[in-house]
Chains A and B, each alone.
Chain A
Amino acid sequence: ETGVTQSPTHLIKTRGQQVTLRCSSQSGHNTVSWYQQALGQGPQFIFQYYREEENGRGNFPPRFSGLQFPNYSSELNVNALELDDSALYLCASSSHPTGNYGYTFGSGTRLTVV
């Protein structure tokens, strides 16, 4: 059983650019969530996808968008990058959109905006 994999592990972007982060969910999981973790803080919920539809969103602006594909993998896109977007981005998958059976997290993508 493979876990959650994220790519890339690190990247550096310039303010104003756009970035795409990728996530493959754990085998058997149909729900993917994305979180942003700033240094020294707990992860903050960005949004969740279930069966290719967004079914929950946290307090993030529309320039944060996502996709889920038929194989349940997912992308997080961030447009017009700002310095404050620098953070660890975590992807989590679950076997049910309610989260009743817990979440499995990937190792994250470290994004640095300069």
Chain B
Amino acid sequence: KQEVTQIPAALSVPEGENLVLNCSFTDSAIYNLQWFRQDPGKGLTSLLLIQSSQREQTSGRLNASLDKSSGRSTLYIAASQPGDSATYLCAVRGSQGNLIFGKGTKLSVKP
């Protein structure tokens, strides 16, 4: 059974710092992995989608990497801003086409 873990559960950094969020999964036979952002009480905003054949994807200040063999993905945020404060969720695609989520990392960027 696929399980997704995100560490740390919460992270607080000063504005301008570069940071890394971690995601691990137990079954390396994934189809793709997607990173989302969730603001309090709101829906999910897709940030990056990495297919199983890819090693990384980039969008602006965000870079996500995927290492299937070790069951890990990282989301790198460069030059963090207070507006980046949110919960970041990673999800892998399950066998039914569904997404299996971690519990998320709650990020707080202090001005």
Measuring CB to CB, which residues of chain A are less than 8 angstroms from any residue of chain B? 4, 6, 31, 33, 35, 40-45, 48, 55-58, 88, 90, 92, 94, 97-108, 110
Contacts and interface: CB of A to CB of B under 8 A. Distances in A.
Interface of B: 4, 31-32, 34, 36, 41-46, 49, 51, 89, 91, 93-94, 96-104
Contacts of A106: 43
Contact of B31 (A45, A88, A100, A103): A100
Given A103-B34, A103-B46, A105-B36, A43 B96 contact: no
Nearest to A109: B43
A45 B2 CA distance: 13
Given A45-B94, A55-B96, A107 B42 contact: yes
A48 to B, nearest CB: 6
A99 B99 CA distance: 8
Nearest to B94: A45
Contacts of A110: 41
Contacts of B4: 42
A69 to B, nearest CB: 20
